[in-house]
């Protein structure tokens, strides 16, 4: 097992990464306060891992809530099911919530923890590649609104993140590829060595070589933890983690949640960001081709296939959280491995990229 630390002063916490971690009770129990533990999971993950996690918690008063599975349920009604379970079981302020599942479960559990009795203890056990490399780390929590993705939420840090890469054994190939999009993101935005590692090892990663996966999860979490430690509340550098996201959120919002998986939408979004970076004169054609090649080798989509019109796309982009005072701030790439935040591109340049992809 390897341990990373996310340094946030009194809110610092460890990220444990390795195999067979769901059989090590002490890793988890040392971060539990009080006696009452609510495991929040969903109907897909529960049959796979709930009993295993419960078996680590023999000395606690454990309850569970099983949420419906899917991005379309990432809303306030579903968060209310968590509050119902907490109140029905008379959980007090000393309780601990454990998120057991992918990013949807993690984001909703964190949001519930941030607001139940004005904030209770919270632990992340992410079980998808995407949640292991991104959503479980850094404290962004929340839900979707019909008019915009992740529009309701809070920054709320967990007490620890426990990443057992063995849980990926049951993840289907499409979800695994979606997670690879966020892994590739770290290489593109700030770590050229990691990007080269991914290009060199993409076949092994797609064969799910455990050592390569563990190394990639570790590197992704380390890169994210470094950025979050410098800018927890996204007043600057953290926005780089949104590479491809303003484009991607527009795809998710327009097609309806769940049609494109989040990571799939980010894949298209990152390629759009690469193309815009080329049009503004930063990336060359060969660099854009490298981005496309890595996404394709990860079995990720690279276009929206005519499913969205250019005007729909642009209007969806303008409700993203990255819109400040009406201008759409985008993460572009100066070169591979070096992203920056821009609102100085020309509107016609953005229109050209959207037109090409739609
Ligand atoms: P998800 O939570 O919907 O999980 C994908 C699917 O895999 C679901 O059907 C789930 O039940 C299933 N699943 C989970 N673990 C499994 C396992 N081990 N074996 C088999 N099936 C399993 O999707 P996701 O990709 O994990 O997360 C996407 C969400 O994360 C989006 O809502 C996105 O907005 C959010 N997100 C948040 C952040 C953040 O910083 N908070 C960052 C990135 C993404
Ligand atoms: N997923 C982007 C962030 O955590 O900031």
Q: What CATH class does 173-357 carry?
A: mainly alpha
Distance 224 CA to ligand 2 centre (A): 8
Average pLDDT over residues 151-168: 97
Q: Assess whether the C-beta atom of 245 lies below 6 angstroms from ligand 2.
A: no
pLDDT tier, 320 (very low <50, low <70, confident <90, very high otherwise): low
φ, ψ dihedrals at 149, nearest 5°: -75, 140
Residue among 42, 71, 74, 140 flagged as catalytic: 140
> Which run of H or of E encompasses 240?
none
pTM, full prediction: 0.96
Query: What pLDDT does residue 146 have?
Result: 84
242 is catalytic: yes
- pLDDT, tens digit, 9 for 90 and up, residues 195-211: 999 999 999 999 999 99
93 is catalytic: no
User: Do the domains 2-170 and 173-357 sit in the same CATH topology, yes or no?
Assistant: no
Q: Assess whether the C-beta atom of 104 lies below 6 angstroms from ligand 1.
A: yes
Average pLDDT over residues 145-172: 95
Q: Assess whether the C-beta atom of 249 lies below 6 angstroms from ligand 1.
A: no
Query: What pLDDT does residue 32 have?
Result: 97
- pLDDT, tens digit, 9 for 90 and up, residues 338-358: 999 998 899 999 999 999 998
Q: Where are the domains of the chain?
A: 2-170, 173-357
How many whole angstroms separate alpha carbon 60 and alpha carbon 98?
Answer: 13
Going by C-alpha positions, the residue among 284, 297, 233, 292 that lies closest to residue 268 is 292
* Rg of the Cα atoms in the chain: 20
Please tell me the residue having the least CA distance from ligand 1 atom 32: 104
C-alpha distances out from residue 261 to 130, 266, 326, Å: 11, 9, 27
Question: Helix, strand or coil for residue 147?
Answer: coil
- Which residues, at least 6 apart from 199, have a Cβ–Cβ distance to it below 8 Å? 290, 293, 294
- Which residues, at least 6 apart from 17, have a Cβ–Cβ distance to it below 8 Å? 1, 2, 3, 4, 132, 163, 165, 214, 217, 218, 221
Taking phi first (over 0 means left), then psi (-120 to 50 degrees means alpha), and beta for anything else, what does residue 138 get? left
Sign of the C-alpha dihedral, residues 357, 341, 345, 150? positive
Distance 262 CA to ligand 1 centre (A): 8
Q: Which ligand is nearest to the CA of 130?
A: 1
Average pLDDT over residues 248-274: 92
Show the DSSP H helices in the chain as ranges. 25-29, 51-55, 76-88, 103-115, 129-130, 173-190, 192-206, 210-230, 245-255, 262-279, 285-297, 310-317, 347-357
Average pLDDT over residues 238-244: 97
Percent of the chain past pLDDT 90, that is, above it, reads 89
| 196 token code pair | 């080269």
Query: What pLDDT does residue 331 have?
Result: 97
Average pLDDT over residues 280-302: 98
Residue 245: how many CB atoms within 10 A of its CB? Answer: 26
Residue among 42, 191, 242, 253 flagged as catalytic: 242
How many whole angstroms separate alpha carbon 240 and alpha carbon 236?
Answer: 8
Q: Assess whether the C-beta atom of 262 lies below 6 angstroms from ligand 1.
A: yes
Ligand 1 atom, smallest distance to 257 CA: 32
Please tell me the residue having the least CA distance from ligand 2 atom 3: 241
Query: What pLDDT does residue 258 have?
Result: 72
C-alpha distances out from residue 299 to 179, 248, 268, 274, 305, Å: 11, 17, 12, 18, 15
- Which residues, at least 6 apart from 85, have a Cβ–Cβ distance to it below 8 Å? 38, 63, 64, 65
Going by C-alpha positions, the residue among 106, 116, 111 that lies closest to residue 84 is 116
Options 3.30.720.120, 3.40.50.300, 3.40.50.1970, 3.20.20.140; CATH for 2-170 is 3.40.50.1970
Query: What pLDDT does residue 324 have?
Result: 57
pLDDT tier, 318 (very low <50, low <70, confident <90, very high otherwise): confident
Residue among 74, 149, 185, 245 flagged as catalytic: 245
Q: Assess whether the C-beta atom of 164 lies below 6 angstroms from ligand 1.
A: no
Say which range, 31-45, 144-158, 228-242, has the weakest mean pLDDT.
144-158
Going by C-alpha positions, the residue among 140, 237, 183, 14 that lies closest to residue 6 is 14
CB 334 within 8 A of CB 282: yes
Look over the chain and give the mean of its residue pLDDT values, rounded to a whole number: 95
How many whole angstroms separate alpha carbon 22 and alpha carbon 28?
Answer: 9
* Per-residue pLDDT at 130 exceeds 90: yes
pLDDT tier, 103 (very low <50, low <70, confident <90, very high otherwise): very high
249 is catalytic: yes
């Amino acid at each position: 097992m390897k341990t990373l630390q996310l340094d946030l002063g009194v809110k610092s916490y460890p990220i444990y990464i390795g195999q067979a971690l769901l059989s090590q009770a002490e890793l988890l129990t040392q971060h539990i306060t009080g006696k009452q533990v609510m495991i929040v999971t969903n109907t897909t993950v529960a049959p796979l891992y709930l009993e295993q996690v419960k078996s680590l918690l023999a000395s606690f008063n454990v309850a569970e809530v099983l949420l419906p599975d899917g991005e379309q349920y990432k809303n306030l009604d579903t968060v209310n099911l968590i509050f119902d379970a907490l109140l029905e079981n008379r959980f007090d302020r000393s309780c601990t919530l454990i998120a057991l599942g992918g990013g949807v479960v993690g984001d909703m559990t964190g949001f519930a923890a941030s607001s139940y009795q004005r904030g209770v203890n919270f632990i992340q056990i992410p079980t998808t590649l995407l949640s292991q490399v991104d959503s479980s780390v850094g404290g962004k929590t929340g839900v979707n609104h019909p008019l915009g993705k992740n529009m309701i939420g809070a920054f709320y840090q967990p007490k620890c993140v426990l990443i057992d890469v063995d849980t990926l054994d049951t993840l289907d190939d499409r979800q695994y590829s979606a997670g690879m999009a966020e892994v590739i993101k770290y290489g593109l935005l700030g770590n050229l060595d990691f990007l080269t590692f991914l290009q060199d090892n993409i076949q092994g990663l797609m064969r799910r070589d455990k050592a390569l996966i563990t190394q990639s999860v570790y590197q992704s979490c380390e890169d994210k933890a470094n950025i979050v430690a410098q800018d927890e509340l996204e007043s600057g550098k953290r926005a780089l983690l949104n590479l491809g996201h303003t484009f991607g959120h527009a795809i998710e919002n327009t097609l309806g949640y769940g049609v494109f998986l989040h990571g799939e939408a980010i894949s298209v979004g990152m390629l759009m960001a690469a193309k815009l970076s080329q049009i503004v004169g930063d990336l060359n054609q060969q660099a854009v081709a490298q981005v496309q090649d890595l996404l394709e080798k990860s079995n990720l989509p690279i276009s929206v296939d005519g499913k969205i019109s250019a005007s729909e796309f642009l209007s969806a982009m303008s409700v993203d959280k990255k819109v400040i005072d009406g201008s759409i701030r985008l993460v572009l790439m100066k070169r591979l491995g070096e992203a920056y935040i821009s609102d100085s591109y020309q509107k016609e340049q953005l229109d050209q990229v959207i037109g090409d992809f739609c």
